[in-house]
Structure 1
Amino acid sequence: MKATIERAALLKSLGHVQSVVERRNTIPILSNVLIEASEGGGIKLMATDLDLQVVETVDAQVETAGSITVSAHTLFDIARKLPDGSQVQMDAAEGKMKVNAGRARFNLQTLPRDDFPIIAEGDLPTSFELPAASLIQIIDKTKFAISTEETRYYLNGIFLHVQDEETPVLKAAATDGHRLARVTLPRPAGAEGMPDVIVPRKCVNELRKLLDENSEASVQIDLSASKIRFTLGTAILTSKLIDGTFPDYTRVIPTGNDKILKIDPKSFAQGVDRVSTIATEKTRAVKMALGDDKITLSVTSPENGTAAEEVPGAYKEDGFEIGFNSRYLLDILGEIEGDNVELHLADASAPTLIREDDKSPALYVLMPMRV
């Protein structure tokens, strides 16, 4: 294999694929990126961790077609350190790959292409398109609530499912048992009959990086009950789905919470952030005392002392006190884009519903804490 590629193009493509590669691998080939140069020009780069696979196609001048695998992180680091605008020559033969750019010369160890594992997609019967902006909205407004507990593996991703309501919708939900985030969008054409799927956290993170560079585009999504493929720009991201059943999260969304507090999310978040400065790392508990159009935030820490702050808000119901994990509360408030947010409360032990208003596509549920 012999090809010449522009340094910027190589760096950008390697940036997409190398982040899938784990730093430590017991299987050496999984540390490598597969480079395939084709007759008509163009190079295909591929990396995988056996659950997730990224393929990126990039323009190049190909002298000799062929394929080889080489350390993904090493090649990425080389490309990163090469001078701007340089032309990178890659020449693979006899178990080695020469990388030349300007006066720099590298001779890298390779592994044969035949050893490289490729995820078999099988049939992907459901196929639809989503604007990149919609996918960004889904990810940003739910990702923070994905569980990191490996024992509850079925919560380690975003749950995507379609529902026939007054108008058919696509819903994305994530929960870690303490908080729940859900986004509802109109169902895209082609998504009818789609199986319920759980997209793993690592796939979500890699997809989000790719979306940053293709935010104006449309994303082609193809899926079955076990695999999902995202095609955007010159990149194709294929992932296995989590094999498990997502719990019926609708049961924890409160419908009868009649105490409504209206606040400005930004000033409220700043107040929570200030008083939680002295909260202990373990509990991060902040208490909210509700009175007539008055909210008092307070934190009591045996080690650090106490803090309190009054924040403005509209509240006309009976006064009571409720406690929340400040980090969870700040995560939710950080995703509110408008100048107003509604907290639908019941009592100190019932889950609280948080949303901008009843027309907002995003909805959050937060479990209270004893404080």
Structure 2
Amino acid sequence: MLIETTAGDLRLALDTVQAAVPRRSTIPILCAVLLQDGAVRGTCLDMEISVRFAAKRFDGAAVIPFRQLHELVKSLPADLDLRIQSKGDDYGVHLFFRGGRYKLPSFPATDFPTWTGNGDLAEMAKPDGFRAALDACTGFISTEETRYHLNGVCFSKDPDGKSVLVATDGHRLIAYDFAHECEINLILPRATVLALLGMVEPEEVLFSDSNMEFRFPGGSYLRTKLIDGTFPDWTRVVPAYPEDTRRISFAPLEMKKALDRMRRLTGQRNRGLSISASANGDLLVVTMNGMDGEECAERIESGSAEHWQGAQAFYGFNSSYLSELCQLHRQAERISIVAPDAGSPAKVGPDETKATTVLMPMRVDEGTLVRTALLTFAGGANDQDAKEAAA
């Protein structure tokens, strides 16, 4: 076996393949990569990635432990010429570069696992915007092992028959408009989603009821098994509220900055928050209590409310989840939160968007702080007057 390439070309290929290489395994060869036919390939048996890279010469095949090879080439200048060579029956490979010679252990190339995906693959429509859709859905994927069927992104249909990608962790949900031809709910695992986000846009997507294959320019590919489970009927939790439902609206970046300040002060990333408005809807305030007596309140200058039900009404949410939704919709001039009361699922987002996002309510107990904030920001009242009025 003889391969002549550069450290930079090999490193870029290894950077991509590492998503499919387990850090530890009871099967040692799975922690290695196969260099063969102008490409480097890695697998964890559930996912396989093969990436082609530039080489002046590529003869034969070798299986080399990934971590050792990756760490070595990362430490070398990108334009440095490398020669990887095996000699005779010795299960080891030599890596040469100007001023260096290393010997690495290896496995027989014939022992490297062969992909065992089955089923006839059908071609999906050209996947324009696929990475953008995956990127939007990633933060909504559950990481709870007990509900494994939520540990991925589902190719689904909305009630109108439109193709969407869906992800939910039970606290929030996204249905992202993306054209596909899957008539059954296929669930792409989270690990595969993260691997795809580290690659370029695929030029071809193939699927069966148990596997998917993504093909990339230049001959690289990713193959993956799908989650064997039934995705819940997510359409049942997407609210269909009438036009006169209570709503608030605001600039997403202004809200996100306020929430980030509050979370830093309280030191609680997932602390609950309250959002309320004055009776006439021209004053919007967000409040948060800390565990050690901190009180946070800000007026959202861009905020307004419609169909509001008096100053005692409010919404309660997880501050981290709402901040992430503001980040997702950051390009919008304004986004809305629509729900009839504090105990109902809320639709969050701009009126025109590819992403339908739903946020479940969170129980909060900030009645006094909300009333104090509304009085303070309404004009004229100092903090002491507001506290006495709210008592």
What's the TM-score, normalizing by structure 2? 0.85
Q: 1:136 to 1:200 in 2, by over 3 A?
A: same
Counterparts of 2:168 and 2:213, CA distance in 1: 23
Aligned residue type for 2:348: I
Aligned residue type for 2:294: G
1:238 is aligned, of 200, 218, 223, to 223
The range that moved more, 263-272 or 240-249, is 263-272
Superposition pairs for residues 214-363 of structure 1, below 5 Å? 214=201, 219-234=203-218, 235-256=220-241, 258-279=245-266, 281=268, 283-291=270-278, 292-312=281-301, 313-317=303-307, 318-319=309-310, 320-336=313-329, 337-357=331-351, 359-363=352-356
Q: Which residue does the alignment assign to 1:172?
A: 165
Q: Do the aligned residues in 1 keep the contact of 2:277 with 2:304 (CA within 8 Å)?
A: no
Q: 1:163 to 1:219 in 2, by over 3 A?
A: farther
Counterparts of 2:267 and 2:75, CA distance in 1: 43
Q: Do the aligned residues in 1 keep the contact of 2:316 with 2:361 (CA within 8 Å)?
A: yes
Superposition pairs for residues 81-100 of structure 1, below 5 Å? 81-93=75-87, 94-100=90-96
The DSSP-based 3-state class of the residue aligned with 2:214 is strand
> 1:288-321 CA distances to partner (integer Å, 9 max, x unpaired)?
1222122111111231421111113121322311
Q: 1:306 to 1:223 in 2, by over 3 A?
A: same
Are residue 142 (structure 1) and residue 133 (structure 2) matched? no
Aligned residue type for 1:365: V
Question: What are the ranges of 5 or more consecutive residues in structure 1 without an aligned counterpart?
Answer: none
Q: Of Structure 1 and Structure 2, which has the larger fraction of its residues in strand?
A: 1
Q: Do the aligned residues in 2 keep the contact of 1:289 with 1:295 (CA within 8 Å)?
A: yes
Q: Which residue does the alignment assign to 1:367?
A: 360
> 1:207-251 CA distances to partner (integer Å, 9 max, x unpaired)?
00103xx5xxx5210011111111112320111100000000011
Q: Do the aligned residues in 2 keep the contact of 1:161 with 1:197 (CA within 8 Å)?
A: yes
Q: Do the aligned residues in 2 keep the contact of 1:275 with 1:309 (CA within 8 Å)?
A: no
Structure 1 vs Structure 2 CA RMSD: 1.9
Q: 1:131 to 1:227 in 2, by over 3 A?
A: closer
Q: Which residue does the alignment assign to 1:17?
A: 17
Are residue 121 (structure 1) and residue 125 (structure 2) matched? no
Q: Do the aligned residues in 2 keep the contact of 1:124 with 1:222 (CA within 8 Å)?
A: no
Q: Do the aligned residues in 2 keep the contact of 1:276 with 1:286 (CA within 8 Å)?
A: no
Question: What are the ranges of 5 or more consecutive residues in structure 2 without an aligned counterpart?
Answer: 365-391
Counterparts of 2:348 and 2:172, CA distance in 1: 11
Q: 1:163 to 1:283 in 2, by over 3 A?
A: closer
Question: Following superposition, which runs of at least 4 residues in structure 1 exceed 6 angstroms of deviation?
Answer: none
Q: Do the aligned residues in 1 keep the contact of 2:118 with 2:210 (CA within 8 Å)?
A: no
What's the TM-score, normalizing by structure 1? 0.90
Are residue 205 (structure 1) and residue 194 (structure 2) matched? yes
* Cα offset, 1:287, TM superposition: 1.1
Structure 1 or 2, whichever has the larger Rg, is: 2
Q: Do the aligned residues in 1 keep the contact of 2:9 with 2:78 (CA within 8 Å)?
A: no
* Cα offset, 1:23, TM superposition: 1.6
* Cα offset, 1:62, TM superposition: 3.0
* Cα offset, 1:176, TM superposition: 0.4
Aligned residue type for 1:324: F
- Give percent identity, aligned residues only: 28
Q: Do the aligned residues in 2 keep the contact of 1:82 with 1:101 (CA within 8 Å)?
A: no
Q: Which residue does the alignment assign to 2:383?
A: none
Superposition pairs for residues 27-176 of structure 1, below 5 Å? 27-36=27-36, 38=37, 43-62=38-57, 65-93=59-87, 94-131=90-127, 134-162=129-157, 165=160, 169-176=162-169
